[in-house]
């Protein structure tokens, strides 16, 4: 597998070009669908100094037509294939919110940047899919983020700067919070209002679980939370449809109610899995 981008190159500004393999993107002149036009645009982007090319097959323009998974995959594959053929040293970014499209790109073309403009909200399986890919990555992943739960899910070890030194935190963020609370108490620099972190008893992780098992459980919890939110949205949408339906058409109303009941059953099953994971983690 080829590398995604040379880490040393990140010290310098990078230019990302947009390759819209779509008929309805924001800027009309960027729209293209024929392989020849796609390849020509790749050559132009490289000549203009692009070191990253972002390939998209589903327009996010308001009012743009919905695109099936297969059609988006066909468009994205056309674009990525053109980049790999014309400019194999250029880093590829794939603009998709669908986990299945991202996974197929990696499987066929190797590592890419996954550019999900919904930040995992568009497809509840996206974060879990990317995390699974990272689990199989043979190299070292350095993740810097403000999202503690993402960090704890996708990394095996956490480190923090404590008292001017980099320190390994076997218990992750919870241990860091304890250490900072202790340091503040010793120096008398704690804020006058007690912090919620310091007031809450530290959550203890089940010591019998390995780091990998803990990470898998947290991944399951995060994935289930996303799925439950999606299902709740479907229930709300279906309830609105019921409100607008013909009140005398009991067959349609019954079918809608059955769909809602099915969504609720799925939520209940996901909640049971979530609570089981919480209990196993000792949280």
Q: Which residue has the higher pLDDT, 166 or 73?
A: 73
Residue 19 lies in a domain: yes
Q: Which two tokens stand for residue 78?
A: 């056309």
Looking at the structure, do residues 48 and 75 belong to the same domain, yes or no?
yes
Looking at the structure, do residues 229 and 175 belong to the same domain, yes or no?
no
Q: Give the per-residue pLDDT at 1.
A: 40
Q: Which residue has the higher pLDDT, 131 or 17?
A: 17
The pTM score is 0.51
State what percent of residues in the chain have pLDDT above 70: 78
Q: Give the per-residue pLDDT at 169.
A: 81
CATH classification of the domain holding 40? 3.20.20.20
Residue 232 lies in a domain: yes
Q: Give the per-residue pLDDT at 27.
A: 46
Looking at the structure, do residues 116 and 217 belong to the same domain, yes or no?
no
**Long-range contact list for 277-281, CB < 8 A, 24+ apart?**
277/217, 277/218, 277/220, 277/221, 277/224, 278/221, 280/206, 280/209, 280/217, 281/205, 281/206, 281/209, 281/214, 281/217, 281/218
> Does 3 score more than 50 pLDDT?
no
Looking at the structure, do residues 264 and 162 belong to the same domain, yes or no?
no
Looking at the structure, do residues 181 and 87 belong to the same domain, yes or no?
no
Contact 183, 163 (CB under 8 A): yes
> Does 217 score more than 60 pLDDT?
yes
Looking at the structure, do residues 81 and 117 belong to the same domain, yes or no?
yes
Q: Give the per-residue pLDDT at 202.
A: 45
pLDDT tens-digit profile of 82-100? 999 999 989 999 999 999 9
Residue 252 lies in a domain: yes
pLDDT tens-digit profile of 232-268? 988 888 888 888 887 777 788 788 888 888 998 999 8
Where does a domain end: 199, 229, 253?
A: 199
User: What are the phi and psi torsion angles at 166 (to 5°)?
Assistant: -80, 125
Residue 145 lies in a domain: no
Looking at the structure, do residues 77 and 174 belong to the same domain, yes or no?
no
- For residue 58, the tally of other CB atoms under 10 A from its CB is 26
Beta strands in 145-225 (DSSP E): 158-162, 165-169
Looking at the structure, do residues 95 and 23 belong to the same domain, yes or no?
yes
Q: CA distances (Å), 134 to each of 20, 61, 128, in order?
A: 27, 31, 10
Q: Give the count of domains, the chain.
A: 3
> Does 24 score more than 70 pLDDT?
no
Closest by Cα among 229, 221, 232, 228 to 274: 221
Residue 47 lies in a domain: yes
Looking at the structure, do residues 243 and 192 belong to the same domain, yes or no?
no
Task: Measure the CA dihedral 148/150/156/161, to 10°.
Answer: -30
Closest by Cα among 265, 280, 259 to 228: 265
Looking at the structure, do residues 28 and 102 belong to the same domain, yes or no?
yes
Closest by Cα among 21, 22, 40 to 85: 40
Contact 86, 42 (CB under 8 A): yes
- For residue 178, the tally of other CB atoms under 10 A from its CB is 15
Residue 37 lies in a domain: yes
pLDDT tens-digit profile of 181-193? 888 887 765 455 5
pLDDT tens-digit profile of 114-162? 888 887 788 888 878 877 777 766 655 555 566 666 677 667 777 777 7
Looking at the structure, do residues 103 and 17 belong to the same domain, yes or no?
yes
Q: Which domain holds residue 236?
A: 211-281
> Does 29 score more than 60 pLDDT?
no
pLDDT tier at 194, thresholds 50, 70, 90: low
Looking at the structure, do residues 12 and 57 belong to the same domain, yes or no?
yes
Residue 129 lies in a domain: no
Q: Give the per-residue pLDDT at 216.
A: 84
Q: Give the per-residue pLDDT at 82.
A: 92
Residue 69 lies in a domain: yes
Q: Give the per-residue pLDDT at 43.
A: 92
State what percent of residues in the chain have pLDDT above 90: 19
Q: Which residue has the higher pLDDT, 144 or 63?
A: 63
Q: Give the per-residue pLDDT at 61.
A: 74
């Amino acid at each position: 597998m080829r590398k995604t981008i040379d880490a040393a190159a990140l010290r310098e500004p990078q230019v990302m070009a947009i390759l819209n393999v779509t008929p309805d993107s924001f800027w009309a002149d960027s729209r293209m669908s024929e392989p020849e036009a796609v390849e020509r645009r790749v050559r132009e982007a490289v000549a203009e100094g692009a070191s990253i090319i972002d390939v998209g097959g589903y327009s996010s323009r308001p009012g743009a037509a919905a695109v099936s998974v297969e059609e988006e995959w066909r468009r994205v594959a056309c674009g990525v294939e053109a980049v790999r053929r014309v400019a194999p040293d250029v880093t590829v970014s794939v603009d998709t919110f669908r986990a299945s499209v991202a996974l197929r790109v990696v499987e066929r073309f190797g590592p890419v940047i996954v550019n999900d403009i919904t930040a995992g909200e568009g497809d509840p399986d996206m974060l879990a899919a990317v995390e699974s890919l990272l689990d199989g990555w043979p190299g070292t992943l350095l993740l810097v983020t403000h999202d503690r739960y993402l960090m704890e899910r996708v990394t095996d070890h956490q480190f923090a700067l404590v008292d001017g030194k980099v320190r390994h935190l076997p218990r992750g963020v919870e241990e860091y919070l304890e250490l900072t609370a202790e340091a503040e108490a010793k120096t008398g620099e704690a804020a006058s209002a007690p912090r919620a972190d310091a007031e809450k008893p530290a959550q203890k992780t089940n010591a019998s679980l390995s780091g990998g098992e803990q990470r898998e459980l947290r991944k399951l919890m995060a994935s289930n939370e996303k799925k439950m939110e999606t299902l709740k949205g479907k229930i709300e949408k279906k309830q609105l449809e019921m409100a607008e339906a013909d009140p005398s058409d009991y067959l349609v109303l019954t079918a809608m109610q059955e769909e809602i009941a099915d969504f609720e059953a799925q939520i209940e099953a996901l909640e049971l899995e979530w609570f089981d994971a919480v209990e196993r983690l000792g949280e």
